[in-house]
């Protein structure tokens, strides 16, 4: 895919909605949205609603994890598309910490785009897999941290 086309898909709400409907249907059902995106940073959100709730009147942890993963994964996908190469991507490890009950709208921010670019450069030049440690922090509408996630992505040129 053309990098400009990919960026337009991510930055258009209806194109992103269609993308999640066809490629990530569970994220579409949960209503995950991508609010900001560039080469260095992405912000994804999820709201407390019927499809995301748990019996304790908060957002189910798996929905929080999906949103956090998306905030990191779009940065990896962006670098793969920009490279024009066939590169596989896979989450190989995830750690999480939950700090506060998740209600309302939760914003997950990842600022690790530069680390992704470095790992992509490494895997494209050596042909070996490279791992990227990425952080995504979820904050509520009051600015309090609700959850923190660490994903380790593996990228490898095919």
Model confidence pLDDT, tens digit, residues 67-108: 999 999 999 999 999 999 999 999 999 999 999 999 999 999
| 81 to 16, 49, 111, 115, 150: CA distances (angstroms) | 16, 33, 19, 16, 23
Q: Does the 3-157 domain belong in CATH 3.40.50.300?
A: no
Three-point CA angle 91, 97, 98, nearest 5°? 125
Percent of the chain predicted with pLDDT > 70: 100
Q: How far apart are CA 39 and CA 62, in angstroms?
A: 26
| Residue 2: pLDDT band with limits 50, 70, 90 | confident
* Beta strand 130-139 pairing with 105-110: antiparallel
pLDDT in tens, 141-156: 999 999 999 999 999 9
String of DSSP letters for 65-99: HHHHHHHHHHHHHHHHHHHTS-EEEEEEEEEEEE-
Q: What's the pLDDT score for residue 20?
A: 92
């Amino acid at each position: 895919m053309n990098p400009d086309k990919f960026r337009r898909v991510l930055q258009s709400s209806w194109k992103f909605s269609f993308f999640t409907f066809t490629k990530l249907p569970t994220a579409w059902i949960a209503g995950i949205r991508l609010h900001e995106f560039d080469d260095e940073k992405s912000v994804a959100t999820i709201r407390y609603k019927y499809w995301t709730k748990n019996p304790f009147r908060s957002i189910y942890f798996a929905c929080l994890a999906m949103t956090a993963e998306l905030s990191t994964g779009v940065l990896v996908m962006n670098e793969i598309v920009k490279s024009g190469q066939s590169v596989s991507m896979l989450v190989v490890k995830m750690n999480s910490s939950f700090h506060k009950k998740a209600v309302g709208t939760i914003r997950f921010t990842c600022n690790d785009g530069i680390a992704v670019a470095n790992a992509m450069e490494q895997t494209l030049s050596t042909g070996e897999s490279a791992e990227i440690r990425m952080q995504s922090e979820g904050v509520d509408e009051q600015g309090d941290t609700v959850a923190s996630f660490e994903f380790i992505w593996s990228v490898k040129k095919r």
